[in-house]
Amino acid sequence: MPARTGRDYIEALNASRRDVLIHGERVTARVADHPAFRNLVRSYAALYDLQHEPELREVMTYPSPTTGERVGVQFLTPRTREDLERRRAMMKVWADYSCGMLGRTADYLNSAIMAMAAAADWFAQADPAFGENIRKYYEYIRENDLLLTHTLIHPQANRAAGPAGQKDPYLAARIVKHTDRGIVIRGARMLATLGPLTDEIMVFPSTLLKATPEDEPYSYAFAIPCDTPGLRFICRESFDYGRSGFDHPLGSRFDEIDAIVVFDDVLVPYERCFMIGHPELCNALYSETSATVFMTHQVMVKNLAKTEFILGLVSLLTDAIQIERFQHVQEKVAEIIIAREILAGLLRAAEVDARPNRWGIMAPKWEPLNAGRNWFPRVYQRFVEIIRQLGASGLMALPTEGDVFGPGRADVERYLQAAALDGIERVRLFRLAWDTAMSAFGSRQALYEYFFFGDPVRMAGALVNSYDRQPYMDHVRQFLARCAEEVDRMGAGTLPADAGAEVGTRPAAGA
């Protein structure tokens, strides 16, 4: 099947029978039509339809290497830097559509599977069948244009102990037995964003397993359809309250539900397993296969789109009520501009300095991407703060659609006008700012940006431990040696003769 349409996506969702709990209800059929999900599903469908817009066809799709039919560029295995740029252009179209608010668009995890398939030999070191399985799986999702979620984290019961150290040995999802058809999984994983509305779920290693026999049952990587018997999604409350797009411009379109995933003795066929056991390999899976690099490439594109949205939003807001002339306001807008330029620069640097990885595909340079993924979780919290500080009471003086277009209309037009906008347009703009920074949807976005890629504290630790700081340490050592040598030569308290010129206003020693 070539790149699918929105209708294909909705029909596939509605045709499958899955087990989804939400708001005290068990949804098993026609999940795409459920009131908590249907608006989000329509947004995802619109993304698939973009693949078929005549003017976007070249950007979004390419001929399948096996069938020649056009498939999504998110599956393209990059061999050149131009391929990476091509991937970025496609991902930007999707990210712009949701103003960067959707995190599980298919390009995120399909990029990971693409990289893993290219690194099939890495999986094969555990078992040649695993290498073959990941290769076939990549081809399968590419040719069927599937949407994936993933779940990596064990339930948050006792973080001082690993999965094997919990009171209940079946709390964290684990292998309970091997059958002649596959492995059987029992237990839970913490979170899968969009889980109930995807075709397949990747259940991949939680990192930092101990290479001990106790952690063996928690060591695996597989992917299964979301309607596999025994698989259950327990959703959080929906932030799409079924209200109008005027009242909740983001929440009514882009609330990607998050769900706990329960495995009630789920049979995972061997052909869907990419690793069983081998905790030490599980820990290295993302880095050794370059999956993290390609996921981060996608995330950076999404973050750029989101930052551009925030910049546009804040600029309209400051213009609307004419606060841009104040210096502290300019300083805050400047922060967003600088963030946009830094992200664009990091992304570009990663592509320009790309090199073939050990599996022979063109991989963006990791260090700029890693810097970006460590920085954005923090900077996004600042964006939210800026919107609140600049919007002030305007973020609360916000009647809803019923009043704006009903009995309150005359008052809205008169008292909620802004210098640059009429009352209705001003409410429309400020509701968007509120939904970005204040609503349940907005708060979830901030939490998402902080945590979804991992705990920033531990990511920072990983960055410090992996970054090659030796050249900079050597440079400082050389400088210290030079200083020591100068002190030896000229005596303590004396600067070299030309130092005054170098430092300009610095007084000469003894002055």
Among the listed residues 36, 118, 192, 386, the single contact to ligand FAD using CB under 6 A: 192
Q: Which of 92, 62, 67 is nearest to 78 (CA)?
A: 62
Among the listed residues 25, 280, 331, 455, the single contact to ligand FAD using CB under 6 A: 455
Q: Which of 290, 262, 31, 275 is nearest to 151 (CA)?
A: 262
Cβ nearer to ligand FAD, comparing 75 with 233: 233
Cβ nearer to ligand FAD, comparing 261 with 305: 261
Burial 367-394 (b: 16+ CB within 10 A, else e): bbbbbbbbbbbebbeebbebbeebbeeb
Among the listed residues 457, 476, 501, 511, the single contact to ligand FAD using CB under 6 A: 457
In whole angstroms, give the CA distance from residue 181 to residue 229: 15
Among the listed residues 5, 30, 444, 462, the single contact to ligand FAD using CB under 6 A: 444
454 binds ligand FAD (CB under 6 A): yes
Among the listed residues 91, 191, 209, 305, the single contact to ligand FAD using CB under 6 A: 191
Q: Is 1 helix (H, G, I), strand (E, B) or coil?
A: coil
447 binds ligand FAD (CB under 6 A): yes
Token duo for residue 92: 């930007």
Q: Which of 75, 76, 187, 178 is nearest to 127 (CA)?
A: 178
440 binds ligand FAD (CB under 6 A): no
158 binds ligand FAD (CB under 6 A): no
Q: Which of residues 228-267 bind ligand FAD (CB under 6 A)?
A: 258
Q: Segment near ligand FAD (CB under 6 A), from 49-57, 126-134, 453-461, 473-481?
A: 453-461
The minimum distance between CB 457 and ligand FAD, in angstroms, equals 4
Q: Which of 383, 228, 204, 355 is nearest to 293 (CA)?
A: 355
Q: Segment near ligand FAD (CB under 6 A), from 91-99, 134-142, 153-161, 313-321?
A: 153-161
Cβ nearer to ligand FAD, comparing 408 with 454: 454
In whole angstroms, give the CA distance from residue 193 to residue 449: 13
Number of residues that bind ligand FAD (CB under 6 A): 21
Sign of the CA dihedral with 404 first, then 439, 102, and 324 last: positive
The single-letter DSSP state of residue 238 is P
201 binds ligand FAD (CB under 6 A): no
| Run of H or E including 447 | helix 440-451
Identity of the amino acid at 67: T
CB 147 within 8 A of CB 198: yes
Q: Segment near ligand FAD (CB under 6 A), from 60-68, 224-232, 445-453, 475-483?
A: 445-453
In whole angstroms, give the CA distance from residue 288 to residue 394: 49
Among the listed residues 64, 105, 110, 151, the single contact to ligand FAD using CB under 6 A: 151
Cβ nearer to ligand FAD, comparing 405 with 448: 448
Among the listed residues 451, 467, 472, 479, the single contact to ligand FAD using CB under 6 A: 451
**Residue written as tokens 């820990």?**
283
Cβ nearer to ligand FAD, comparing 156 with 393: 156
Q: Segment near ligand FAD (CB under 6 A), from 139-147, 336-344, 447-455, 494-502?
A: 447-455
| Run of H or E including 144 | helix 128-144
Identity of the amino acid at 511: A
In whole angstroms, give the CA distance from residue 275 to residue 63: 30
Residues that bind ligand FAD (CB under 6 A): 149-153, 156, 159, 190-193, 258, 444, 447-448, 451-452, 454-455, 457-458
